[in-house]
Amino acid sequence: MIKRIFVIFFVLTYLLVFDASFLLAQIQDTTPPDLISLDFNPKVIDATGLAQPQVIAVVTIRDNDGGVGAEGIDFRFLNEDGTRGIGRFGERTISRSEDDLTVTKEITFLPAQFLPPGNYFIDNFSMGDRAGNFKRLSRQEIAEMGFPILLINQGPPPQDTTPPDLISLDFNPKVIDATGLAQPQVIAVVTIRDNDGGVGAEGIDFRFLNEDGTRGIGRFGERTISRSEDDLTVTKEITFLPAQFLPPGNYFIDNFSMGDRAGNFKRLSRQEIAEMGFPIELFNGNTPPGQNIVVGPISGVTLTYVTVVVGGQTIVNPSSSGPTPPSGFKFGNPPTYYSISTTAEFNPPVEVCINYDDTQFKNENNLKLFHFENGQWINITTSLDTINNIICGQVSSFSEFGLFEDITTDHIIDEVKSFNLDPDIEQGLLDKLNSARSAIERNQNKTARNILKAFINLVNAQEGKKITTDQANILRTDAQALINSLGGNLLSTIFKWVLFGWIDKFIDAMLSTKL
């Protein structure tokens, strides 16, 4: 009994003397630790599949006396209405601080696999000390302390299923002539925007339309690859080289196709492109529809249409042969005719201008532009520019055109002087030509005709002697043309007789007229 009393006394004495401060501290520590800092990274993860990305939180906790005992963080998924969802993950650790009442701790999280995607929040943070004091901070309290609370589990980006959009489209020129050997460039500028992966390719297809609106055989197009790495918007130039000898007419953008790098593809029809306000029509030919359309020069000929109703192709074929020149005129050397035609529909008039070679004519001031209409030549000359060697006229239709020189006595005089004839023969011819010119100036055409006939007789007499056959042919032809231009044919003489009653001149007219 005495021994038991002694042991009890010894234990009590030891506790009171040697560890009283410890007992006192245990009795007095009633305050839980404080959260000093909290952060975690990354704040965006993908734990929607098999992967388990780590989330590392770093917290600092301070206790006032006994030391930090434990801490834990609980992340919980929130539903759209703000209520707690089923997805959650957390971690609790033991961190006993021996000498320091402040603990900085890394807490590593491994979220569960196939965690529902969405926003996860720190639902609470709990911590305790070695004295058994415990504190749990709510989400709101943590946020009010300025610490992050949101973790996003977003999953992989959604699959790109949307093709690009056409932002703008234009091309120039809108009128070309690829009907022959030439291959004019057509440059289209397009802007395409993709929503995600980037533009992959684009292409334009131009197709010829038949008169009934169906697709024709003529077509051309281009496809390019344009991968946009950093920018989802691409502005691209697409260059076309239409085929040679492409049928003339209206070509339309038949379709515009575009795709992205994810393989999404879109093809816009002609109508859809037009409804977006972008141009779709390209005319191939040298005579497009419109007002004041200038075509050429083609073989030295330039045409100006007042109005082209339906576009087409204007063709100019120069030739050295054609209908006989009109009376009193001769063609150049060499002769030049122009056969003009068009498939375009137009409203007259049309101005026809020809750039001529003045060395082909004796005196360019005497040039006239003629159009062969209804079996006869019609003088259509409206202007003559002898400085730039351009002669113009107006017509309402097309056929043969000729550039002729008005024959005068001066014209024949120049020919005689250019032949280097025997001086006596030359002077005899010139005397007759000068006399004929004086008669014409006095309006004595009958006298002038008789003198010119005498001129022809002199040429005939010297042909093969003092005048070569070629020279004689030229002089005879021009003199006869001048005679014809001065009148004196049977029909005109009878007309004067009937009109004026010049019966007394009938016999003289019959004698002076070449039947």
- Cβ 246 vs Cβ 190: under 8 Å: no
Closest residue by Cα to residue 355 from 330, 318, 329: 318
State the sign of the Cα–Cα–Cα–Cα dihedral 467, 472, 474, 475. Answer: positive
Closest residue by Cα to residue 412 from 351, 306, 340, 485: 485
* Stretch (H or E) spanning 133: none
**Greatest Cα pair distance in the chain:** 196
pLDDT value of position 221: 61
- How far apart are alpha carbons 164 and 241 in whole angstroms? 26
Q: Is 475 left (phi over 0), alpha (psi -120 to 50) or beta?
A: alpha
pLDDT along the chain (515 residues), means of 10: 60 53 57 89 86 87 78 70 66 60 82 81 84 86 92 78 88 87 85 78 68 61 57 78 81 83 84 92 90 93 95 91 84 89 94 93 88 92 94 94 86 85 88 86 88 89 88 85 71 44 47 44
Tokens 């419109």 locate to 290
* Chain mean position to CA 111: 56
Mark out the alpha helices in 99-178 (DSSP H runs).
Answer: 139-144
pTM across the whole model: 0.56
As a three-state string, the secondary structure of 215-280 is EEEEEEEEEEECCCCCCCEEEEEEEECCCCCCCCEEEEEEEEEEEECCCCEEEEEHHHHHHCCCCC
Helix, strand or coil, per DSSP, at residue 162: coil
Closest residue by Cα to residue 242 from 168, 307, 175: 175
pLDDT value of position 212: 62
Total Cβ atoms within 10 A of residue 145: 14
Residue 342 is which amino acid? T
Tokens 């009934």 locate to 212
- Cβ 514 vs Cβ 456: under 8 Å: no
